[in-house]
Amino acid sequence: MDFTLKIWRQENAQAKGRFETYKLTGISPDCSFLEMLDILNETLINDNIAHPVVFDNDCREGICGMCGLYINGRPHGPDDGVTTCQLHMRRFHDGDTITIEPWRARPFPVIKDLVVDRSAFDKIIQEGGYISATTGGVPDANAIPIPKQDADEAMDAASCIGCGACVAACKNASAMLFVSAKVSQFALLPQGKPEAKKRVVKMIKKMDDLGFGACTNTYACEAECPKSIKRTNIARMNREFICSKLTSSEE
Amino acid sequence: MATLNSKIPEGPLSEKWTKYKASQKLVNPANKRKLDVIVVGTGLAGASAAASLGALGFNVKVFCIQDSPRRAHSIAAQGGINAAKNYPNDGDSVGRLFYDTIKGGDYRAREANVYRLAEVSNSIIDQCVAQGVPFAREYSGYLANRSFGGAQVSRTFYAKGQTGQQLLLGAYSALSQQIKAGTVKMYARKEMENLVIIDGKARGIITRDVKTGEIERWFGHCVILATGGYGNVYYLSTNAMNSNGSAAWQCYKKGAFFANPCYVQIHPTCIPVHGDYQSKLTLMSESLRNDGRIWVPKKKEDAEAIRKGEKTANDIDEQDRDYYLERRYPAFGNLVPRDIASRAAKERCDAGYGVGTGKAVFLDFKDAINRLGKDKVEERYGNLFQMYQKITDDNPYETPMMIYPAVHYTMGGLWVDYELQTTIDGLFAAGECNFSDHGANRLGASALMQGLADGYFVLPYTVQNYLSAEIYNAPIPTTHEAFDLAEKEVNEKIAKILSVKGNRTVDSFQKELGHIMWEKVGMGRNKEGLTEAIPMIKALKEEFWKNVRVDEANECMNPELEKALRFADHVELAELLAMDALQREESCGGHFREEHQTEEGEAKRDDENFMFVGAWQYKGEGSEPELHKEDLNYEFIKVQQRNYK
């Protein structure tokens, strides 16, 4: 298969970026999207065309959350429920022009080419995305039975890989889906209850402070999430937030 | 020097760890704040160690190469984590888990370490549940279990096919809590490039910032390495693209012994190689072998017709199918340990019965679908089937999956004693980067167990014991000449790579190395192949330093340079791996020497001559490394031939 690639190139955070166009021929339809970029980079180096295109990637099986490209206007490209690394070239047509950009969101500044800085997500988790259980001194794992349905729902929320597609998809660069997934996981489990009221308030405040936008309920985040995290998590987080504000005895 | 003291406490097996904990030295809270601990890597072992030591009050600095500690490759583990809880009441116990692990490792692991692992396994599950890890549960609300290879009990806890993800996110959340509390400082996108030793003790590291190329110095009263395995020496593996053995190799070159490098696990159920552009191999969880049946055609002409595309799996009648694992190992059937399943697949393919490209066998769910219904199969394995279909464009509900073994895990690693301390004072190694618990073959769902055992429940004790003697030592400024020297070595290595300006990309070298390793130091090894491989690896190393091409400067985000720095280490590690495989004139676990097999083609150990840990000592560039032997004394277990028939 042959492709024309329009790729965002940017030297560093300060530099002005631009699109560059590269032609690539003879790609196998069984090739993954990132393998296609590997081939492009080998070609760019060997044919003295340009420096290789820098993109984040690691596990290449859809779980680490490292890869994330904006492909033809959609985070992680045209397939539903997959990450960029799980996308294969058979999903495109021979001769297609493919546009590849980094995530575009103010809290995710570009580092180089297609790589962005997502450390804002870590900062949100550090505000309360945990249950304060230090090592040792905890009860037996079966001491507290948890209804299967709650455990399953918590698992679905916990499947978030922190890739940032929800933020990239949102016109407001809101991180509501990401934050609500973590808040929901712990809100559903008895172990998470003691800190629930504080957790939701602190995480939302941090999200706002870091410059993520507000949610206007268009659910582009849910549509583009490679792990199909549900928007019902956002509703749950809003309930948790209101409850916390109304009932918390603390300032 | 050069005597290996494993420091195993005296006394009966079941009392060793209790005794150690009761007699270890402690550090008082006021002194903990003054002691710096460096942790390299944020997988299960690194993140859990950093969080636990931070919670104790030590001053922890933790480093990872990815953009966030949550990305470490532990996240990709699918199937589960073992523990001796015996919740199903099916006969499990600490002793049974200990025995299965030793036997699974083909009697090449240290008894005391493995017993401790089994002993703390239950605490891991308690800890993770307390952290909010959403393990699978029964309708009763209690935890669910499933079976894995090499065991006859159900002791594996799981969270869908994403157990590693959930456990890592649990450890990451504990780490995040400590970062917020200020006890742990997190440094992401920084790669360790050298170890700093002062007066014989590990005292710090040199890192390269992956974003800017900046070389930085960090002091620690001790250093914990938790940097994973070296499977990517083979290029194609189930490891992540950035997984590498570089940090461990730097420590080896500074004096840490490297143990059993030839013990490499080849996982039987991976999606086969399909093109030379391929960058990695994808694992299909071992849990699939609970219901899938592995087979190849009985007749060579059928296999050939399938390879040519003239027939499909569904054209082969039942009586013409060879379910070779069930045939050879009736007691364990499709659930034999990984090394055995992998070799059996290779044997069939080498004999001309392979399907697909010839390097594949079928994993068939037809019977399971008939017995349980498609819905039930989908409920159990839906995400794996979907993943398979995305990659191969085949529907496994209709045609059998095609699978082939691939490099997955390295049992070998830095030699450590009972305290997980290497042969360098103050340098500890945890998780996959040490050699300690899995012998010559790791059982499924035991890697997660070991990583978390080391990080949550072993290092907090043993590191404290070490640091108790350090309270009199003030932090050493990073202007110390040892830091100058270590940084100079890094700068010189980078400058040397950039000065080559050759014609070949780093990937082309890594692919060539991978090819040599897979063909000659892979699943089946023999003296001839290994003797050929070593000069080939040496020649490749020489060519690398003459002909590698890295264009951009150090002072920017430069993945080509990162890969080159790692390859420079991998090519050396590969040579040691081959030497170790050559030295070990026996077959055991993942190490199969074709000269040493039974008439039925099973691995034939030589307990008389090889019941030892082979620990290699670096002797300088151009000199042969020296092999030290730690004898394995089985005091509590009766050593037998492994039998899964």
Chain B environment of A39 (Cβ under 8 Å) = 277
Chain A environment of B86 (Cβ under 8 Å) = none
Q: Is residue B381 in some structural domain?
A: yes
Domain coordinates in residue numbering, chain A: 3-111, 118-247
> Does B147 reach chain A within 8 Å, measured CB to CB?
no
Residue A147: which of B70, B71, B141 has the nearest Cβ? B141
- In chain B, DSSP finds a helix count (H) and a strand count (E) of 19, 19
Contact A135 B51 (CB under 8 A): yes
pLDDT, position B2: 54
pLDDT, position B387: 87
Residue of chain B nearest A147, judged by CA positions? B141
Contact A119 B52 (CB under 8 A): no
**CATH topology for A118-247?**
Fumarate Reductase Iron-sulfur Protein; Chain B, domain 2 (1.10.1060)
> Does A32 reach chain B within 8 Å, measured CB to CB?
yes
pLDDT, position B1: 44
Q: Is residue B356 in some structural domain?
A: yes
pLDDT category of residue B335 using cuts at 50, 70 and 90? confident
Query: Degrees (nearest 5) of the Cα angle B642, B272, B598?
Result: 25
CA–CA min distance B73, chain A (Å): 7
Residue B130: which of A42, A79, A191 has the nearest Cβ? A191
Distance of CA B561 to the CA centre of its chain: 25
Residue of chain B nearest A122, judged by CA positions? B68
Residue B143: which of A52, A130, A141 has the nearest Cβ? A141
DSSP, residue by residue, B581-638: HHH--S-BTTB-BTTSB-TTS-B---HHHH-EEEEEE---TTSPPEEEEEE---SSS-
Residue of chain A nearest B389, judged by CA positions? A86
Q: Is residue B65 in some structural domain?
A: no
> Does B123 reach chain A within 8 Å, measured CB to CB?
yes
Q: Is residue B547 in some structural domain?
A: yes
Average pLDDT over residues B158-186: 96
Active site residue B321: no
Task: Give yes or no for residue B383 having a pLDDT over 90.
Answer: no
Tell me, yes or no, whether B366 and B487 share the same domain: no
> Does A14 reach chain B within 8 Å, measured CB to CB?
no
pLDDT category of residue B59 using cuts at 50, 70 and 90? very high
Average pLDDT over residues A60-82: 96
Residue B140: which of A46, A79, A145 has the nearest Cβ? A145
Residue B507: which of A42, A90, A191 has the nearest Cβ? A42
Residue A34: which of B135, B142, B279 has the nearest Cβ? B279
Chain A environment of B211 (Cβ under 8 Å) = 111-112
Task: Give yes or no for residue B111 having a pLDDT over 90.
Answer: yes
Q: Is residue B107 in some structural domain?
A: no
Q: B402: domain range?
A: 268-406
Residue of chain A nearest B160, judged by CA positions? A155
User: Could you tell me the two tokens for A115?
Assistant: 């790589």
CATH of the domain at B363: 3.90.700.10
Number of structural domains chain B divides into: 2
The helix (H) or strand (E) run that includes residue A73 is none
Contact A189 B132 (CB under 8 A): yes
Q: Is residue B104 in some structural domain?
A: no
Task: Give yes or no for residue A251 having a pLDDT over 60.
Answer: no
Query: Degrees (nearest 5) of the Cα angle A8, A13, A18?
Result: 25
> Of B375, B406, B437, which residue is a domain's last?
B406
CA–CA min distance A140, chain B (Å): 5
Contact A31 B177 (CB under 8 A): no
pLDDT, position B384: 87
Contact A134 B174 (CB under 8 A): yes
pLDDT, position A250: 63
- Judge residue B448's burial from the number of C-beta atoms within 10 Å of its C-beta, 0-12 exposed, 13-18 middle, 19 or more buried: buried
Tell me, yes or no, whether B303 and B387 share the same domain: yes
Chain B environment of A138 (Cβ under 8 Å) = 126-127, 129-130
> Does A46 reach chain B within 8 Å, measured CB to CB?
yes
> Does A214 reach chain B within 8 Å, measured CB to CB?
no
CA–CA min distance A3, chain B (Å): 16
- Specify the 3-state DSSP secondary structure of B238: coil
CA–CA min distance A112, chain B (Å): 7
pLDDT, position B108: 97
Q: Which residue, among B296, B291, B315, B297, has the nearest Cα to B367 in the 3D structure?
A: B291
Please state, rounded to an integer, the average pLDDT across all residues of chain B.
Answer: 95
Distance of CA B453 to the CA centre of its chain: 15
Instruction: Tell me the residue ranges of DSSP E strands in chain A.
Output: 3-9, 18-24, 70-71, 74-75, 97-101, 110-112, 115-116
Contact (Cβ atoms closer than 8 angstroms) between residue B269 and residue B402? no
Contact A63 B162 (CB under 8 A): yes
pLDDT, position B147: 83
Q: How confident is the model over B344-366, as pLDDT tens digits?
A: 999 999 999 999 999 999 999 99
CA–CA min distance A214, chain B (Å): 24
Tell me, yes or no, whether B393 and B300 share the same domain: yes
Contact (Cβ atoms closer than 8 angstroms) between residue B175 and residue B186? yes
Average pLDDT over residues B421-446: 96
Chain B environment of A162 (Cβ under 8 Å) = 68, 70
Out of B110, B328, B338, B566, pick the active-site residue. B338
Which one is predicted more confidently, B338 or A164? A164
Q: How confident is the model over B1-41, as pLDDT tens digits?
A: 457 999 999 999 999 999 999 999 999 999 999 999 999 99
Measured CA to CA, the distance from residue B384 to residue B342 in angstroms comes to 20
> Does B126 reach chain A within 8 Å, measured CB to CB?
yes
Contact B275 A158 (CB under 8 A): no
Residue range A3-111 forms a domain whose CATH class is alpha beta
Q: Which residue, among B183, B83, B93, B94, has the nearest Cα to B133 in the 3D structure?
A: B83
> Of B379, B406, B433, which residue is a domain's last?
B406
pLDDT, position A26: 96
> What is the value of ipTM here, to two decimals?
0.98
Q: Which residue, among A208, A151, A206, A158, has the nearest Cα to A183 in the 3D structure?
A: A158
Average pLDDT over residues B421-429: 98
CA–CA min distance B611, chain A (Å): 36
Residue given tokens 């199918």 in the structure block:
B321
Instruction: Tell me the residue ranges of DSSP E strands in A69-173.
Output: 70-71, 74-75, 97-101, 110-112, 115-116
> Does A89 reach chain B within 8 Å, measured CB to CB?
no
Q: How confident is the model over A25-63, as pLDDT tens digits?
A: 999 999 999 999 999 999 999 999 999 999 999 999 999
Looking at chain B from residue 443 to 482, which residues have their Cβ under 8 Å from any Cβ of chain A?
A: 456-457, 460
> Does B42 reach chain A within 8 Å, measured CB to CB?
no
Measured CA to CA, the distance from residue B52 to residue B42 in angstroms comes to 13
> Does A227 reach chain B within 8 Å, measured CB to CB?
no
Measured CA to CA, the distance from residue B430 to residue B410 in angstroms comes to 13
> Does B48 reach chain A within 8 Å, measured CB to CB?
yes
Lowest-confidence region among A81-95, A198-212, B126-140, B376-390: B376-390
Task: Give yes or no for residue B128 having a pLDDT over 90.
Answer: yes
CA–CA min distance B553, chain A (Å): 11
> Does A10 reach chain B within 8 Å, measured CB to CB?
no
CATH of the domain at B529: 1.20.58.100
CA–CA min distance B571, chain A (Å): 21
> Does A35 reach chain B within 8 Å, measured CB to CB?
yes
Q: Is residue B606 in some structural domain?
A: no
Q: Is residue B149 in some structural domain?
A: no
Looking at chain A from residue 143 to 172, which residues have their Cβ under 8 Å from any Cβ of chain B?
A: 144-148, 151-152, 154-155, 158-159, 161-162
Contact A141 B390 (CB under 8 A): no
Residue A141: which of B55, B126, B241 has the nearest Cβ? B126
